[in-house]
A = this chain, B = another copy of it.
Amino acid sequence: MNIPDINLKRIVIIGGGFGGLRLAKKLTTQNFQVVLLDRHNYHTFQPLLYQVATAGLEPDSIAHAIRTIFAKKENFFFRIANVEKVDTLDQKIYSDIGNIHYDYLIIATGSETNYYGNENIQKHSMPMKTVPEALDLRSLILQNLESALLTNDLDERYRLMNYVIVGGGPTGVELAGAMGELKKHVLPNDYPDLDIRRMNVHLIQAADRLLPTMSHNASDKARKYLEELGVQVWFNTLVKDYDGIHVDTDGKDLKATTLIWTAGVKGAMIPGVGNDENAKGGRLLVNEFNLVKGYDNVYAIGDIALMITEKNPQGDPMVAQVAIQQGQLLAKNLNHLKSGKPMKPFKYNDKGSMATIGRDKAVVDLPGWKFAGWFAWLVWMFVHLVSLVGFRNKVIALMNWVVQYFQYNKSVRLIIRPYRKKH
């Protein structure tokens, strides 16, 4: 790679998600050369991917070009790269754009969809972890309705109009809500020659409530809001298999062309880092300074990192806030390396959690205050607008939400690139 050789220690960050981005921003590049690698040339605001999938937002609202963010930063280098493996003895990263040496390595690769080893589900279901995946899902949702118009086989038509979402966490709940809105308010106008009442959105949850990491109040409200939108919620139900048509659960007879899998994530591991103990649950064990166990110059932050302490034997949840706070602290700690200041240990400051259901409802759990409904939706919207990277993204997302609030029909139901099954 064509990176100037200067007399600075080189920090290589793999991954421009919430953690990697914050870390790169806060690192003082008088002390280091910083190299950021990512598969894409943009940062993805993952919490809003479901809105891209359901045609509420375009990618430009939730993606932000990484180069633009760092336009003014000295000693900073960004490269699009797929990292293939790391040689920690040689301190070298192998990638599709060549090899690169590091002095400090930060693994901020986040998480990927976890199918728990079920190859059928992996093959036939739709994931929603990246912008292209969300766009594929959007295309498929619309394509299936177009196909439903063309068939006279009623079984096939209803299969095409059945959308099964597996996983009752925030992603599954928010996606189900947006699909419910489409069904209730948007699609009947778009498809007057199709009986949209026969369209079904199923949300399948293994636990006995939705949003199990939130309060019971939030779970109950989320369920209520979803059911008002016509979403069918199934509790205590495991999806064991899926062949592209039959959803194999205990007892339910579901047939669906589209199954969206949001039922699990695991760390996006990189070959060469970690060992059996480290890779437990697909995450890297780190100490309270985010140093990966067994290394002295390899750190991990965000979803990929599992920080188990006496006080916190479960580790922190795999959410954006943890990644951001770890990135922030690690930057500070690394900036202080030269001056010999001691590193500060990480402690997660839980600011609360929230989820939106449909166009104008949300559930919010703040420390000490739990509420739901329209005001919660305003809070949700405000928090997400503030968190979006970049002025343009904020303005465009806000405008889309405002327009859609007053007029359902203004979403962008475009099949730009038709989705074709790869098998």
Binding site for B on A (CB under 8 A): 1-4, 40-42, 58-60, 63, 65, 67-68, 71-72, 77, 79-80, 97-98, 131-132, 135, 142, 146, 149-152, 189-193, 391-392, 395-396, 399, 403, 409-410, 412-417
Contacts and interface: CB of A to CB of B under 8 A. Distances in A.
Contact of A151 (B2, B40, B396): B2
14 contacts: A2-B149, A2-B151, A2-B193, A40-B415, A42-B415, A58-B60, A59-B416, A65-B412, A68-B413, A71-B189, A71-B192, A71-B409, A72-B189, A395-B399
A332 to B, nearest CB: 25
A67 B190 contact: yes
B41 A142 contact: yes
A interface SS class: mixed
Given A132-B416, A417-B417, 11 more contacts: A4-B193, A41-B142, A59-B416, A68-B413, A77-B193, A80-B146, A132-B417, A135-B416, A395-B399, A396-B396, A399-B399
A150 B1 contact: yes
Contacts of A391: 410
A370 to B, nearest CB: 35
A67 B409 CA distance: 11
A189 B132 CA distance: 26
Contact of A190 (B71, B80, B417): B71
Contacts of A2: 149-152, 193
Nearest to A151: B2
A414 B150 contact: no
Contact of A392 (B41, B63, B152, B410): B410
Given A59-B58, A151-B2, A131 B416 contact: yes
Contacts of A395: 399, 403
Contacts of A97: 150
Given A58-B60, A152-B2, A395-B399, A191 B413 contact: no
Contacts of A142: 41
